[in-house]
Chains A and B, each alone.
Chain A
Amino acid sequence: MKARTIALAAAFALSAALPALAADKVKIGYVTTLSKGPAAIGKQMQDAVELALDHLGKKMGGLPVEIVYADDEFDPEIGKLRSEELVKKDKVDFVSGFIWSNVLLQARQPIFKANTFLIGSNAGPHELAGKECSPWFFSTSWQNDQMPEAMGKYMTDAGIKRVYVLSPNYPAGRDMVAGFKRYYKGEIVGEILTPWPQHADWSAEFAKIRATEPKPEAVFVFYPGGAGINFVKQYAQAGLKDTIPLYNVFTTDSTTLKAQGDAALGLLSTMSWGADLQNDANKRFVADFKKKYGYIPSFYAAQAYDSIMLIASAVKAVNDKIEDKDAVRKALKASDFASVRGQVKFNNNHYPIENFYIQEVVKDADGTYDTRIKGTVFLAHADSYGAKECKMK
């Protein structure tokens, strides 16, 4: 015991004296939700990460890769504790993942303080895009506002004059509404923010929409996860789906479509990726994903896959010298990899500049529900916070 302690202490003293000790492997901490309600999303991300490792031959550059998965239990405090563990105990070189804005916002501090890169693969809060942007943060998803911005543009172009807006009353919800308004040029005839997350019944809101005069031509909503399942089912049950078309962001995706069933059929949403996006990287990703796991990947999976591929490209570009953080940052910023989202560059705040598409929910020949890309709304669309509020170059 004692001898071991001394040996350990000596080893650490030595490592402190030689800071540029070369890495013998790439260690990545992956934080996502693996238990409790939203575990379905976490599982998709985990599957995608494993597929990315298969495609990479479990190697990045010349180094073997080790992934440490951490479960945030859908609780910001646990997410923070686990992130702390990743950087302090497991001493990972990169942290990636994060589904939820509130978990990411609480967990980022210890990661940044440990000078560790954080590759967000879903949550895109405006804080990290604007005033609180960080040289240690990169995103392979989007900034929250970009999706409703695309929907606002699409609905304006489609000539829809009067829209009713529904969203949860929490920051991401309000961001969504703000983003929508930024690009929607018609009239917003009504706007309801519902309590979050306990709200599960929209009958009162539907009655108000129906009673609005003159009649709205469309309804725009943002209800992620379980709330989206409830909303879409109830919207169809209320008979509104056939009278007032429903447009959404983050409400119909492959994690919710099974439970929404026919109620979601034909609904339109915007996204920066689709399983039917035609590029070589994506074709390979989707085909292999379906083969390995037997289901269609969602955008959560695609973004998780991209986060691993982005890290791999950076490790390769710095010739395995991942301890040179500045070089790694430059390599990450170059975004020199075959993304499943096609051509992607980074804005000054390290959020992606990418294309946004309009997608429709369809039923495949074998009865499974899926989304199809109907058209492109934005080409190389940058978020609206980077240029304005982020001081990074």
Chain B
Amino acid sequence: MTALLLIEQTLNGLQLGVMLFLMSAGLTLVFGIMNLINLAHGSLFMVGAYCAALFLEWTGSFVLAALLALPATLLVGLIIEIVVLRTLYERDHLDQVLATSGLILFFNEALHLVGGAEALYLDLPPFLKGQVKIIPGSPYPLYRLVVIAVGLAVALGLYLLVTRTRTGMLIRAGASNRTMLSALGVNVRLLFTAVFGLGAMLAGLGGVMAGPIVSVQSGMGENVLILAFVVIVIGGIGSIRGAFIAALLIGLIDTMGRAFMADLMGLVMSHTAAQTAGPTIASMLIYLLMAGVLFFRPQGLFPPRGR
């Protein structure tokens, strides 16, 4: 029974992990290549979920709504890049923090006005609602398996894009030495816009997929944003591979901590004390991990070479 529980929790951790990866992939690329700290990345996550919910109301089809939400988020991402962020690439990190936190305020309130004050409804179509008996005796929600599958597929696609294509080569080059890249005559501006758009769309996809699981409301992107930053810092800024591994690591550790910490601590202290202390330690776990990793590897686990 404990083994089964462990398998199920591993799946849960994987699912959280791939979700975090979708958020972190764009963040780490934008940070690594354009040297831009984009706090508004969480807003794009939220825009994705909002678009899906609004399109669902409009079209009545979840799949159609999800497919429409992606280009919509891409569009929003491109607009922010062109209007605000483009001028910030050469600026101080702190200017970027200030401007993008302004964007957060704006988007939270704008979506509040568009979608109303209440949380929006975003439910699954019947064919995604069921459970699968993947582990004997305990049915697992089909949709979560779909999330894992989509996440892994996106990760594979990104891997192929980065390692096998010319665009990918430019992205890698940009992550290790930006100045050299533009000196070689590459249209850096276009590359930046493309990378930002890609990142925005991935965040949007994360939002769309999270929509049926969490509540779609203003401000929903902020906690995910913090976790995504933890992921990219542990993984090493600019590294897709690092982001992927760190995302899964965080997903698994967070889930396992929540599942077993209270019981584990119950072995060494009273039941009530463990019930209170367990969740506290569990919430601290990922931050402890981050502090630990950075203590031994101040550049994260997989810092891109050349910098």
**In the complex, are there CB atoms of A and B closer than 8 Å?**
yes
B12 — which chain A residues lie within 8 A by C-beta?
201, 203-204, 207
Distance between B124 CB and nearest chain A CB, rounded to angstroms: 7
Choose, from A83-91, A232-240, A303-311, A341-349, the stretch at the interface: A232-240
Q: Taking the complex as formed, is B193 at the interface, i.e. its CB lies under 8 A from any CB of chain A?
A: no
User: Do the beta carbons of B131 and A230 come within 8 Å of each other?
Assistant: no
Residues in A16-48 with C-beta less than 8 Å from chain B: 35-37, 39-40, 42-43
User: Do the beta carbons of B223 and A201 come within 8 Å of each other?
Assistant: no
- What per-residue 1/0 map shows which CB atoms of A370-388 lie under 8 Å from chain B? 0000000000000000000
User: Do the beta carbons of A237 and B213 come within 8 Å of each other?
Assistant: yes
Distance between B149 CB and nearest chain A CB, rounded to angstroms: 16
> Taking CB as reference atom, which chain B residue is nearest A207?
B8
State A256–B117 Cα separation when bound (angstroms): 11
State A39–B113 Cα separation when bound (angstroms): 11
User: Do the beta carbons of B215 and A195 come within 8 Å of each other?
Assistant: no
> Taking CB as reference atom, which chain B residue is nearest A254?
B118
User: Do the beta carbons of A261 and B121 come within 8 Å of each other?
Assistant: yes
User: Do the beta carbons of B129 and A169 come within 8 Å of each other?
Assistant: no
Distance between B167 CB and nearest chain A CB, rounded to angstroms: 34
A244 — which chain B residues lie within 8 A by C-beta?
none
B138 — which chain A residues lie within 8 A by C-beta?
207, 210-211
Choose, from A186-194, A268-276, A320-328, the stretch at the interface: A186-194
User: Do the beta carbons of B124 and A36 come within 8 Å of each other?
Assistant: no
> Taking CB as reference atom, which chain A residue is nearest B2?
A211
> Taking CB as reference atom, which chain B residue is nearest A74?
B219
Partner of A237, one of B129, B218, B259: B129
Interface of A is mostly: helix
Distance between A18 CB and nearest chain B CB, rounded to angstroms: 45
Partner of B215, one of A169, A226, A262: A226
Partner of B123, one of A204, A226, A262: A262
A226 — which chain B residues lie within 8 A by C-beta?
119, 214-215, 217, 220
Which has the most chain B C-beta neighbours within 10 Å: A204, A208, A233, A259? A204
Which has the most chain A C-beta neighbours within 10 Å: B124, B213, B220? B213
User: Do the beta carbons of B139 and A239 come within 8 Å of each other?
Assistant: yes
A239 — which chain B residues lie within 8 A by C-beta?
130-131, 139, 141
Q: Taking the complex as formed, is B255 at the interface, i.e. its CB lies under 8 A from any CB of chain A?
A: yes
Partner of B119, one of A40, A208, A262: A40
Size class of B's contact patch?
Answer: 35 or more
User: Do the beta carbons of A192 and B213 come within 8 Å of each other?
Assistant: no
Residues in B119-133 with C-beta less than 8 Å from chain A: 119-124, 129-131
Residues in B1-22 with C-beta less than 8 Å from chain A: 1, 4-5, 8-9, 12, 15-16
User: Do the beta carbons of A35 and B280 come within 8 Å of each other?
Assistant: no
Residues in A49-74 with C-beta less than 8 Å from chain B: none
A334 — which chain B residues lie within 8 A by C-beta?
none
B121 — which chain A residues lie within 8 A by C-beta?
258-259, 261
State A233–B213 Cα separation when bound (angstroms): 7
Distance between A202 CB and nearest chain B CB, rounded to angstroms: 9
Q: Taking the complex as formed, is A160 at the interface, i.e. its CB lies under 8 A from any CB of chain B?
A: no
Q: A40-B118, A261-B121 are in contact. Are A207 and B213 (CB under 8 A)?
A: no
State A194–B120 Cα separation when bound (angstroms): 24
A200 — which chain B residues lie within 8 A by C-beta?
213-214, 223
B131 — which chain A residues lie within 8 A by C-beta?
238-239
State A207–B108 Cα separation when bound (angstroms): 34
Distance between B66 CB and nearest chain A CB, rounded to angstroms: 16
- What per-residue 1/0 map shows which CB atoms of B95-121 lie under 8 Å from chain A? 000000000000011001000111111
User: Do the beta carbons of B5 and A208 come within 8 Å of each other?
Assistant: yes
State A226–B118 Cα separation when bound (angstroms): 9
> Taking CB as reference atom, which chain A residue is nearest B282?
A195
Partner of B216, one of A43, A199, A259: A259
Residues in B197-217 with C-beta less than 8 Å from chain A: 212-217
State A255–B119 Cα separation when bound (angstroms): 8
State A36–B113 Cα separation when bound (angstroms): 11
A192 — which chain B residues lie within 8 A by C-beta?
262, 275
Distance between B79 CB and nearest chain A CB, rounded to angstroms: 24
User: Do the beta carbons of A205 and B258 come within 8 Å of each other?
Assistant: yes
Partner of B279, one of A195, A208, A263: A195
- What per-residue 1/0 map shows which CB atoms of A193-225 lie under 8 Å from chain B? 111001111011101101101000000000000
- What per-residue 1/0 map shows which CB atoms of A108-128 lie under 8 Å from chain B? 000000000000000000000
Q: A198-B283, A204-B12, A211-B138 are in contact. Are A237 and B143 (CB under 8 A)?
A: yes
State A383–B280 Cα separation when bound (angstroms): 30
Q: A207-B8, A233-B212 are in contact. Are A193 and B275 (CB under 8 A)?
A: yes
Q: A226-B119, A259-B120 are in contact. Are A211 and B1 (CB under 8 A)?
A: yes
> Taking CB as reference atom, which chain B residue is nearest A36?
B219
A315 — which chain B residues lie within 8 A by C-beta?
none
State A360–B8 Cα separation when bound (angstroms): 32
A37 — which chain B residues lie within 8 A by C-beta?
217-219
State A194–B218 Cα separation when bound (angstroms): 22
User: Do the beta carbons of A256 and B119 come within 8 Å of each other?
Assistant: yes
Distance between A301 CB and nearest chain B CB, rounded to angstroms: 13
State A198–B286 Cα separation when bound (angstroms): 13
> Taking CB as reference atom, which chain B residue is nearest A227?
B215
> Taking CB as reference atom, which chain A residue is nearest B119?
A259
User: Do the beta carbons of B5 and A261 come within 8 Å of each other?
Assistant: no
State A381–B108 Cα separation when bound (angstroms): 41
State A208–B282 Cα separation when bound (angstroms): 16
Q: A198-B283, A201-B16, A205-B258 are in contact. Are A35 and B109 (CB under 8 A)?
A: yes
Partner of A194, one of B123, B130, B217, B279: B279
State A377–B5 Cα separation when bound (angstroms): 37
Q: A200-B223, A203-B255 are in contact. Are A211 and B217 (CB under 8 A)?
A: no
Using A42-B117, A213-B1 as known contacts, list a sample of 11 further A-B pairs with CB atoms less than 8 Å apart, ordered by residue number in A.
Answer: A203-B15, A203-B144, A204-B256, A210-B8, A210-B138, A226-B215, A230-B214, A233-B213, A238-B131, A255-B118, A258-B119
Provide 8 A-B residue pairs closer than 8 Å at the C-beta atoms, listed in order of the A residue. A37-B219, A39-B112, A204-B255, A207-B5, A230-B214, A239-B139, A258-B118, A261-B123
